[in-house]
Structure 1
Amino acid sequence: MSLTLGRFTVGTPVVLAPMAGVTNAPFRQLCREAARAGLPEPTGSPIEPHASDAPEGVFVSEMVTSRALVERTPESMRIITPAPDETIRSVQLYGVDPATVRAAVRMLVTEDRADHIDLNFGCPVPKVTKRGGGAVLPWKRDLFAAIVRGAVEEAGRGDVPLTVKMRMGIDETHLTYLEAGLMAQDAGAAWVALHARTAAEYYSGHAHWDAIARLKEAVTDIPVLGNGDIWSAQDALAMVAQTGCDGVVVGRGCQGRPWLFTDLVSAFAGTERRVRPGLGAVASVLRRHAELMIVHADGDEGRGLRELRKHMAWYLKGYSVGGDARRGLALVDSLADLDDKLAALDLDQAYPGEAAEGQRGRAGTPKVPSVPYGWLDSREIDADLAASLHEAELSVSGG
């Protein structure tokens, strides 16, 4: 089962979801290497790269705002800088102003900075939605259509496929995904991906896979991808079987588990082999992650290790480590410090099974989405709202 993305054929229909502060170049590299590994020996490292010309997935950058990119802020330029081995340089853009989004896409295309561009209409973070962005934007159908049409047109000048990632809508009484999916298809998007929750649900409860099935029934000319509650390769296969979707988008399930992409490639290839690393193998991957983070931080060891800290709890989930060791690893500031703390662990521990799997991080609770005043009064943009759109082009992040 492969996936078409414009001029590219992706060997395995899996996509790493953009996640703020997570899917930077180092983590994407680990996930790509895991995907290429395919079928590692059970006793070996969960990441053992081998040569391959075919991309076994699409690995999307952290979200970058269109305005920040057009202004070439240092952080936005760092976000879109690919790792050396990225076959498909994939960038996710956020924006609410059609002209600014178009300009950002034009920059990426004319300067050859991306091979794939994804538009974010799925972020539920209040600082995004309160300005009319992310998951609440498709409610304004004229604005949504203008952004997607303009972005597709600019991307097409360089034969760069443009895709759309969205949620079901604002809440259960303000659903937009079916209409938005059809509009994206008509505008020329290469695929649409649905996180099967509303903005109000945030990451709580269970994803509504039935909505992915309904979108697949409605959108028939381009691939439809499903996102939400994929914690294992078995979940990915189940989503495809239940919904008929053409591929899966994996987010929180791979946090601290880049080898999940080995499992996914193996599962879609029809094999039962799965990676079940002991703590020693996990520590090896964590150490490699640290090295890559330091390179990404331009050699600044302290900054690289500080950015790695958030990953520690994810990597150690389910293993018998102890509170003091966990807290110590969450404060590492050098490779020497990391090595000392890893060496103090019981690295002979076997894989702890289900305790190391499942949900990562906090799911949050349902909440009333923050939206601009008057946003729900009409499906169209009025003059007052149009005048305030530039405020939503601030440097914000979310996923």
Structure 2
Amino acid sequence: MSTTLPPGTAPVKQQYVFLLSSAALPLVDDDAAEGSTSHNGAPRADVVDTDTRGTGGRKKWTKAQKKEKRGANKGRKFGKVHDQLELCWRIANGKVCEHGDECRFTHDVAAYFAAKPRDIRFPSITNISDVPPFIVGMDVEEDSSASCESLDHHTTCPSFTESGICRLGLKCRFLGAHAKRDVVTGAITLLEDEEKRAQTALSATELNFVNAETLKLLRSKKYPRPITDSYLKELEATKGDSNGQEQHADVGGDEAPIDASKSPLSPTELVAKRTGASDSSAQADTPDVPLRLQEKRKLNWSGKSYLAPLTTVGNLPFRRLCVTLGADITCGEMGLATSFLTASASEFSLVRRHPSESMFGIQLAGNKPSTLVPAAEVLGREFGDAGGIDFVDVNCGCPIDLVFKTGSGSALLDAPAKLGKIVSGMSRALGEIPVTIKLRTGVKDGRNNAHKIMPRAATEWGIGCITLHGRTRQQRYTKLADWEYIKQCVDAVRAREADEGLSPIPIFGGGDCFSSHDYWTNVSSTGVDGVMIGRGALIKPWIFTEVKEHREWDISSRERLQLIGKFAEFGLSHFGTDTTGVNTTRRFLCEALSFQYRYVPIGLLEHLPAKINDRAPAFKGRDELGMYFVDLETLLASPNSQDWVKISEMFLGPAPESWSFTPKHKSNAHGEESQG
């Protein structure tokens, strides 16, 4: 490796470093990805590039430049993009609207089509190339005599292709794939594939939808929660404080528990109303009989790969992509217990599960038993019996100020007695569904306490699995994960389990895993059952394939673009194929690309394995196309958010003028705060 590149720089072969310069791509602040700057205020970078393509060298940042370029773009807002004229969804699906003329959406199909943009042509995998224009045959031939309502029968609709029907009907932006026009009358008929609908009834239908009755009961604070009420009364009797607060960790005010005694329905009546089952003494007694630890469902996770719960980018389409690449265990984005109890629609959307997610959990954040236990009871009752959730994870590791200052997330590490009351109550409320916890090593540097918490969690609190991220809350991502300490914690848990004659529970480690080599080295050296992968999966989702196959994958740029197209396909199936769904998919695709651009192809490196914290020099791809063209590998490495939008347009059509994307990291906003 050339000595012109400073320590901590990815060892890119000299022939690929752009103009043989030492300039590096903008350094990303991973703390900013979690919504805040560093705990101790230390800057993440001290240099700035005069040219992102490496032609101008480097210079020291001024104090003002450090402040301007570091951290996240706060207050990002992404408004929904709608059709110029919005068609009633009932009319769009060939149904009758009961609101008639009073409907706030138009029923004039002809007017809607006159204003609707042309169909988007969604490419097939065979049309993807590694040379410009990268998507072959995507240019729709323009016909000056054709109106905007013309259908493109060369496109495909991801929803229709997957399930045999498109729920958006006439509003679909890929309508030509499942509609035909009468040559005489001009009327458009929607098509359905009944055989495919029958075949995919279970495999393509998302799970964990909450019904209106449940939301109504939660909003009115009448949702019955007998297990929670019984447990909180026990805490009051033994401690005099239903929140189990400890004096040194008393953060935030108390909240009165929801009064379920005012519910017009008893728990037995509610079960009978929902299931149609008759009353029985067994049903009436069940809420008051806690499940014994031996009866809890066991998590056999040894040797399985685990995608970490990730805010913003850990949505259903991304998790689904990771599952296709080998992820065994997935977990939804962190949800707030208080928001579930107030029937937040956005919070309940986080628990949606695709049938391909064979082992799926929900992560909750909160700071007291009086919110986390009832939230667990609600989720377990609504989704547990239907197989919608396999475990519930308690977030004891989130470091961001917004969470920490409320006493949630990593703040619970300094309140182990309260944490024990929380997880014990949740375990009782969830019945046979296991409770898991995700920890950091401690709150402050030099004050690790996970080795004290984990043995208690495994033997006293009824935990089904423990995940330990090898950093303190204060460290954030400023230091490498401490896998030696993770080993000490594993040893402490195994010793306690052996002393008490208990079966071992799964323990997963986490931190800096970026390759198959990292994964299996950490498993063999620390005794963990597996590694929870977070940032590594964001930068290279195919890491799960590498782990499964015990190899490092020199993935081609064409294969990477195919995966981006697969993400777009999954996004359209989830968010919808209408104008709103297309641009919601575009937003989350750009969010994914804000991490994936950081990948340095391993074929460009002088030695392996690649390291997640290495800075990449400005480099060019392996398919040099001349000075006037950018090859695909170089384009996929662009730190410019405008290029991410261009990549989205390959699959989702041109971005509307009213749409914009503000990158999470300030270092990616080149020239403008937002692009679109």
Q: TM-score, normalised on structure 2?
A: 0.44
Bigger relative contact order (CA 8 A; separation at least 6)? 1
Alignment of 1:213 with 2:487, yes or no, is yes
Question: Alpha carbons of 1:314 and 1:339: their partners in 2 closer, same or farther (altered >3 Å)?
Answer: farther
Change (3 A) 1:339 1:262: farther
Q: Which digits, 9 at most, give the CA deviation of each residue in 1:36-78, with x for residues without a partner?
A: xxxxxxxxxxxxxxxxxxxx62111111111111222111111
Aligned-residue offset at 1:329: 3.2
Unaligned runs of 5+ in 1: 36-55, 268-272, 342-360, 363-399
Deviation of 1:11 after TM superposition, in Å, equals 6.9
CA contact (8 A) 1:196 1:208 kept: yes
One of 306, 323, 339 as aligned partner of 2:587? 306
Structure 2 counterpart of 1:146, one-letter code: K
Gap regions ≥5 residues in structure 2:
1-295, 498-504, 601-632, 656-663, 666-676
SS where residue 347 of structure 2 aligns? helix
The secondary structure found in structure 1 opposite 2:314 is coil
Q: Using the alignment, how far apart are the partners of 1:72 and 1:171 within structure 2?
A: 35
Shift of 1:165: 0.5
Which amino acid in 2 is paired with 1:149? S
Secondary structure at the aligned position of 1:229 is classed as: coil
Distance 2:522 2:564 in 1: 30
Aligned counterpart, 1:192: 466
Superposed structure 1 runs of 4+ greater than 6 Å apart: 322-325
Cα displacement (A) at 1:175: 2.4
Matched, 1:141 2:416: yes
Q: Does 1:22 align with 2:320?
A: no
Q: Which amino acid aligns with 2:560?
A: V
Q: Is 1:280 paired with 2:563?
A: no
Give the total of aligned pairs: 313
Task: Give 1:276 shift.
Answer: 2.1
Query: Is the Cα–Cα contact under 8 Å of residues 194 and 225 in structure 1 kept in the other structure?
Result: yes
Equivalent residue number for residue 292 of structure 1: 570
Aligned 1:44-123 pairs, distance under 5 A = 57-112=328-383, 113-123=388-398
CA 66–325 in structure 1, closer or farther in 2 if over 3 Å, else same: closer
Q: What is the CA–CA distance in structure 1 between the aligned matches of 2:545 and 2:654, rounded to whole Å?
A: 29
Identical positions, percent: 26
Asked if 1:131 is matched to 2:406, the reply is yes
1:9 corresponds to: 300
Does residue 202 in structure 1 map to residue 476 in structure 2?
yes
- Looking at structure 2, the residues matched to 324 and 200 of structure 1 have their Cα atoms a distance apart, in angstroms, of 31
Deviation per residue, 1:135-160 (Å, 9 max, x gap) = 121211221111111111122x1x11
Equivalent residue number for residue 170 of structure 1: 443
Q: Cα distance 1:125–1:259, how it changes in 2: closer, same or farther (>3 A)?
A: same
How do residues 201-350 of structure 1 correspond to structure 2 at under 5 angstroms? 201-220=475-494, 221=497, 222-267=505-550, 273-299=551-577, 300-316=581-597, 317-318=599-600, 319-321=633-635, 326-331=640-645, 335=649
Instruction: Please state whether the residue corresponding to 1:117 is helix, strand or coil.
Output: strand
Choose the corresponding residue for 2:322, options 13, 31, 55: 31
Cα pair distance change 1:326/1:173, threshold 3 Å: closer
**Aligned-pair CA distance for 1:176:** 2.2
CA apart distance, 1:263: 0.9
The Cα offsets for residues 271-306 of structure 1, whole Å up to 9 and x where unpaired, read as xx4432111111111011112123322331111111
Query: Which shows bigger deviation, 287-296 or 190-199?
Result: 287-296
Distance in 1 (CA, whole Å) between partners of 2:358 and 2:421 is: 30
Cα deviation code 1:50-108 (max 9, x no counterpart): xxxxxx62111111111111222111111101113222221111111212111111112
**Could you tell me which amino acid in structure 2 is paired with residue 314 of structure 1?**
F
In structure 2, relative to structure 1, the CA distance for the partners of 1:314 and 1:23 (3 Å cut) is same
Distance 2:452 2:507 in 1: 14
1:280 counterpart letter in structure 2: R
CA distance in 1: counterparts of 2:414 and 2:300, whole angstroms: 32
Q: 1:84 to 1:279 in 2, by over 3 A?
A: same
Counterpart CA distance in 1 for 2:302 and 2:544 is 13
